[in-house]
Amino acid sequence: MSALAWFIPEYLLLAGAFFALFAELIVRREGVAAAAGALFASLAALSALAIGVRPAAFGGVLELDQVSVTVRVVLATLSAVYLLWLAGRGMAPERSREAAAFVLLATLGGMLMVAARDLMVLFVSIELATMPAYLLMGYRRDDEHTLEGALKYFLLSMTTSLVMLYGFSFLFGIAGSTSFAAIAEAPGAGLLGAFSAVFVFVGLLAKMSAAPFHYWAPDAYAGASPASVAFVSTVPKLAGAAVMVRLAVILVPGVPALPTVFAVASLASMLLGNLAAFPQSDVRRLMAYSGVAHTGYMLLALSAGSAAGNAAAIYYTIAYAAPSMAIMLLAAEEGTAVDDFAGLAARRPAAAWTSVVLLLSLVGVPPMVGMFGKLVLFTAALDAGRLALVLVAVAMSVVSAGYYFRVLRAAFFVGGRAERVPRVLPAAVAVALLTAATLALGVFTGPLVRWLTAAF
Amino acid sequence: MVESVTADHTVLLMFIIVGAIFVPLTLTASHLLAPSKHDERKLDTYECGSEPIGPPWVQFRVGYYVYALLFVVFDIETVFLYPWAVAFDRMVVFVLAEMIVFIAILAGGLAYAWKEGALRWR
């Protein structure tokens, strides 16, 4: 099989994005585009799984190692599930076909991000993954808050892209090449190397909404439609986590201080994210701060600077993405205020119990996947001697139960409106799939983490 | 090599010096020699005598942005097509296929913009 055929999932996503734009010309019904997109994305996930690990291709700019394969399968699957939901519920009051195309293009960018082995290809893929995300965040074009949030997201994301690009330019200057292999082998450039690495990671940390560069996330999320947030806060984040791990692997040998930088950012994110999530009354803001906190946990794994830590960082982000997306999808159905969840147990018992599973997974309660994610993460961090940080992380996990349970308290113990949103089968299936993954993925923790560790 | 470089730069230096003297000299001379009669029309924005209509800070039609975007799309396409066309006779069929894919993606975008009525002037 030639190298061209290894990227069939990417072609499928591109073809799917174009097909989604025109699908409603063939079948004139809202939601057809998203359904077609879901089909293309699931085909992409299956083909990515079938193609598996492959050596470097196209002059070494793309490579499919264990991390790339895992993350691209998960990315395509998540976007397929998301599009399934979108096919059922749509993006009211706007039409959903462009959203479907944006989702597929962003996923394509994310998949190229994790396969990239070259700074130029990486940067273009990051832009491809984030450009549709800006559009999704500003999807409700007649809403002032949406536009304000989207503009904030756009400007800050662009600025962080530039900061990162500035770092890339120094890396290129040190190594004389944009390929990761050449950068990894370049002699440690001392202060200049540290300078460039800090710029690269400040850009990435800001994109991942890690403290102290998180301030854009709550505003941007609170303005956007919750259905957009469900996608933007999970899929690009997973790809971003994989890129951070990849760059950490090549840059840490030359810049030994980097793990300490990650540890500090991790501490700040865990404290700030978890504590600031408390007073929030909007689920989007709450999940934005919870996202900051979870990025903090991910950084804790990264600060271990070991193969196990790198694998744990990726596994943890996967374990975070599924429940987080599902909770935002439920918020898109029920309403974005925590109070909108009031009475959920009475009017939609299944949805209420689903949210119990999802939120407990985010807290890290067994047997949900979040607990296994935290387990591998804490183990890796303890092996690297980060006892104090792990203690903070455990304490903060307990604290996080406080604000997640506020949603559950509203759902179960507070009376609310009785009328329920109409049943929509594809949307229900999508949330059920994510919940099933949250429940069952933990079983595969051992093999998956071993498989991921083999890449480093 | 070094001498030729300095010789080139001598010409540049002379040009700068002559320019720095000549321009103020002619402007000053015309200021001193020419008769100066101002009236309202002459002191207005356009020396040619056209009367300006309204203030310059008017709002442009936001509809122009679509044209700006489509222009950028084709601009980028041209930027890519030029080097490709120049090296066309030295390339394999694969590169032709790549360019066809690239143009097809752009054409798809244009077709969608067209279908959505972005090209209609409202």
| pLDDT above 90: residue B71 | no
Q: What is the mean pLDDT of residues A212-216?
A: 88
What integer pLDDT is reported at residue A188 of this predicted model? 67
Residue type, A69: V
In chain A, which residues touch B (CB < 8 A)?
14, 18, 21-22, 25
Q: What is the least distance, in Å, from the CA of B115 to any CA of chain A?
A: 9
Interface mutation target, options A2, A7, A22, A58, chain B, most CBs of B under 10 Å: A22
Q: What is the mean pLDDT of residues A236-265?
A: 92
What integer pLDDT is reported at residue B37 of this predicted model? 80
Element (H, E) at A63: strand A62-64
Distance CA B53, CA B50 (A): 9
Q: Residue A116 pairs with which residues in a beta bridge?
A: A62
| pLDDT above 90: residue B77 | no
Q: CB contact, 8 Å: B115 with chain A?
A: yes
What integer pLDDT is reported at residue A39 of this predicted model? 95
- Report yes or no: A135 and A114 within 8 Å, Cβ to Cβ: no
Q: What is the least distance, in Å, from the CA of B76 to any CA of chain A?
A: 15
* Contact list, A18 vs chain B (CB under 8 Å): 105, 108
Residues 81..110 of B with a Cβ closer than 8 Å to A: which? 105, 108
Interface A–B counts its CB contacts (< 8 A) at 9
Distance CA A68, CA A111 (A): 8
Weakest-pLDDT range from A174-178, A366-370, A415-419, B25-29 = A415-419
Alpha carbon distance, N-terminus to C-terminus of chain B: 62
Q: CB contact, 8 Å: B112 with chain A?
A: yes
Q: What is the mean pLDDT of residues A153-163?
A: 92
Q: CB contact, 8 Å: B114 with chain A?
A: no
Q: B112, A22: Cβ pair inside 8 Å?
A: yes
Whole-Å CA distances, A369 to A92, A297, A317: 32, 15, 11
What integer pLDDT is reported at residue B6 of this predicted model? 64
Residue type, A315: Y
Q: What is the least distance, in Å, from the CA of A309 to any CA of chain B?
A: 40
Interface mutation target, options B65, B112, B114, chain A, most CBs of A under 10 Å: B112
Q: Which residue has the higher pLDDT, A254 or A162?
A: A162
Distance CA A434, CA B1 (A): 71
Q: B122 pLDDT band (50/70/90 cuts)?
A: low
Sign of the four-CA dihedral A352, A354, A360, A363? negative
| pLDDT above 70: residue A58 | yes
Q: B1 pLDDT band (50/70/90 cuts)?
A: very low
* Contact list, B108 vs chain A (CB under 8 Å): 18, 21
Q: How much of chain B exceeds pLDDT 90, in percent?
A: 11
- Please report the ipTM that was assigned to this predicted complex: 0.74
* Contact list, B115 vs chain A (CB under 8 Å): 22, 25
Q: A22, B105: Cβ pair inside 8 Å?
A: no
Q: How much of chain A exceeds pLDDT 90, in percent?
A: 68
Number of domains in chain A: 1
List all residues 6 or more positions away from A173 whose beta carbon is below 8 Å from its beta carbon: A192, A196
Q: What is the least distance, in Å, from the CA of A50 to any CA of chain B?
A: 25
Q: B112, A25: Cβ pair inside 8 Å?
A: no
The 10s digit of each residue's pLDDT in A313-360 is 999 999 999 999 999 999 999 888 988 999 899 989 999 999 999 999
* Contact list, B112 vs chain A (CB under 8 Å): 21-22
What's the domain range around A194?
Answer: 3-453
| pLDDT above 70: residue A1 | no
Among A181-190, A291-300, B75-84, name the most confident range.
A291-300
* Contact list, A14 vs chain B (CB under 8 Å): 105
Q: What is the mean pLDDT of residues A148-152?
A: 89
Q: A21, B105: Cβ pair inside 8 Å?
A: no
Q: What is the least distance, in Å, from the CA of B55 to any CA of chain A?
A: 29
Q: B105, A14: Cβ pair inside 8 Å?
A: yes
Q: CB contact, 8 Å: B31 with chain A?
A: no
What integer pLDDT is reported at residue A256 of this predicted model? 86
Q: A111 pLDDT band (50/70/90 cuts)?
A: very high
Q: What three-state secondary structure class fits B63? A: coil
* Contact list, B111 vs chain A (CB under 8 Å): 22
